[in-house]
A and B are shown apart, each in its own frame.
Chain A
Amino acid sequence: MREFCLVGVALLLTACGGAAIPQESLTAAKAAVAGAEVGGAASDPKAALHLKLAKEYVAKAESLIADGDNEEAARVIDRAQADADLALSLAKETSAEKEAQDTKESLDRLRKQAQ
C-alpha cells in the first residue's frame, strides 16, 4: 500500500506542475528569436513565418509559466526554439542562394563581355 501512495504522490507532483520554471531554455529561445531577426528572418517570407511562430510560442510559454504550468511551458519553449532556429537557417539559405545567383549573373555578364 505504501508503494501505491508513493506512486500517487509522484503522479500528483508531476500533474500539478511541480517542475521548476524553465528559465534557462526560455532565455535561450528568446536569444534564438533575436538571432533569427538579426539574421534577416523577418525579410524572408518562409523564415518570417517561423519567426512569427517562435515569438508566439515564447509568449505562450511565458503565459503558461505565469499560470504555473511549467511542464507544458517547457515543451512550448522547445517549439519556440525549433522555430527560431529554423527561421535563422532559412534566412541564411535564402541569402546564400541570392549571393550564388548574383555571382552567376556577374559571371554570365563577364563571359558575354569576353566574347
Chain B
Amino acid sequence: MMKRLNRIALVGLLVQAAFGCATAQPPQELLDARSAYDAASKGPAAQLAPAQLDTAKQSLAKAEQSFADNGDKPVTKDIAYVAERRAELAAAEGAREKAARTRSQMDKDFKNSEIDAVAATKDRAAKAQAALEKERQARAEAEKNLADANKKLGAAMASLAEIAKVKEESRGVVITLSGSVLFATGKSELLPIAQQKLAEVAKALNDQGYQSLLVEGHTDSQGSAEKNMVLSQQRAESVRMYLISQNIPADKIRAQGIGSSRPVADNNTAEGRANNRRVEIVVTPLGK
C-alpha cells in the first residue's frame, strides 16, 4: 500500500512537471529555430534541398520534444540551437543549388550565344567578303570599260589623223579638212572622195563622243568677201548635212560661214591660199 501511494505520488510529480514545462515560455533558441525552419521551408530548399530540409524538420521536432519533456532547460536550448543551424543550413543549400542551376542555365545560354555570335561574325565576314568581291568586279569592269573607251578614242583619233589635221585648241578639238579635197573650185557640192572621208570623220566622232559640233567654212581672199562668205556658208552647210546623214544628230551640229576673215596662211602664195581654203569641224568634248 505504501509502495502504491509512493508510485502515485511519483506519477503526480511527473505530471506536474510535464504541465509545468508545457506552460513555460519556449526559450529564444526554440523560437529562432521555429522561424528559421519556417523561412527555409518557404524558400528554394523545399524543392532544391529536400534532404537537408527534412533533417532540419527532424531536428526541430527533437527540440520541440525536448521542450515538451524538459521545458526551458539547457538541453532544450542546445537542441534548439542545433535545429536553428540545421534550418539555416537547409536554406543555404537551397540557395546554393538555385544559384548553381541558374549558373548552369546561363552557361548553356553563354555557349549558345557564343555559337550565335560566331555564326553572326562569320555571316558578317562572308557578307563583307561578298561585298568586297562585288566591288572588285565592278572596279575591274569600270577599268576595262575605261580602257576600252581609251582604246576606242585612240583608234578614232588615229583614224581621224590619217584623213585630216587634228589639233587641240582652247575652243575644242579642231579637225581641219582641206577645201580642195572636199569641193571643186567655186562649188559647194561634196566630191565623192570627200563623202568617203567625211563618213570616216563621222564614224570617229560617234566613236569618240562629243558635246556639240560646229562646222566652219573658210575661203582664201580671192574674189569678193561677200561671195566668199556665201560660198563658205554653203560649203559648211553641205558638210553639216552630210554628217547628219552619217548619224550625227542635227541638234548637235551647227554650220557657219566665216569667209576669208580667218586665214591660217599667207594668201599671197598658192600654197598659203590652198591652206586657207578649208573646212574646220570644232568638237566641244563631252563634259564641257
Contacts and interface: CB of A to CB of B under 8 A. Distances in A.
Interface in B76-97: 78-79, 81-82, 85-86, 88-89, 92-93, 95-97
A103 B110 contact: yes
A93 B95 contact: yes
A16 to B, nearest CB: 17
A86 interface: yes
A89 to B, nearest CB: 4
A76 interface: yes
B125 interface: no
Contacts of B47: none
Most buried by A among B78, B88, B92, B116: B92
Interface stretch (B99-107, B178-186, B232-240): B99-107
Contacts of B117: 110, 113-114
A interface, by DSSP: helix, strand, loop or mixed?
helix
B89 A75 contact: no
B191 interface: no
Nearest to A106: B110
Interface in B42-101: 74-75, 78-79, 81-82, 85-86, 88-89, 92-93, 95-97, 99-100
A82 B86 contact: yes
Contacts of A93: 92-93, 95-96, 99
Contact of B106 (A85, A92, A107): A107
A21 B12 CA distance: 35
Contacts of B89: 82, 85-86, 89
Nearest to A74: B78
Given A82-B86, A89-B89, A114-B113, A100 B103 contact: yes
Interface residues of A, number: 28
B110 A79 contact: no
Contacts of B92: 86, 89-90, 92-93
Interface in A57-113: 72, 75-76, 78-79, 81-83, 85-86, 89-90, 92-93, 96-97, 99-100, 103-104, 106-107, 110-111, 113
B95 A97 contact: yes
Q: Is the interface of B mostly helix, strand, loop or mixed?
A: helix
Contacts of B114: 110
Nearest to B100: A96
Nearest to B77: A75
Contacts of B74: 72, 75
B88 A103 contact: no
Contacts of A81: 82
Contacts of B78: 75-76, 78-79
Q: Please name the 5 residue pairs, one residue from A and one from B, whose CB atoms are nearest each other, closest first.
A: A82-B85, A100-B103, A96-B99, A89-B92, A93-B96
Given A96-B97, A107-B110, 16 more contacts: A75-B79, A76-B78, A78-B79, A78-B82, A79-B81, A82-B82, A82-B85, A83-B85, A85-B85, A86-B92, A99-B99, A103-B106, A107-B109, A107-B113, A113-B117, A114-B116
15 contacts: A75-B74, A75-B78, A79-B78, A83-B85, A89-B92, A89-B96, A90-B92, A93-B95, A96-B99, A97-B95, A99-B100, A100-B99, A103-B107, A107-B110, A114-B117
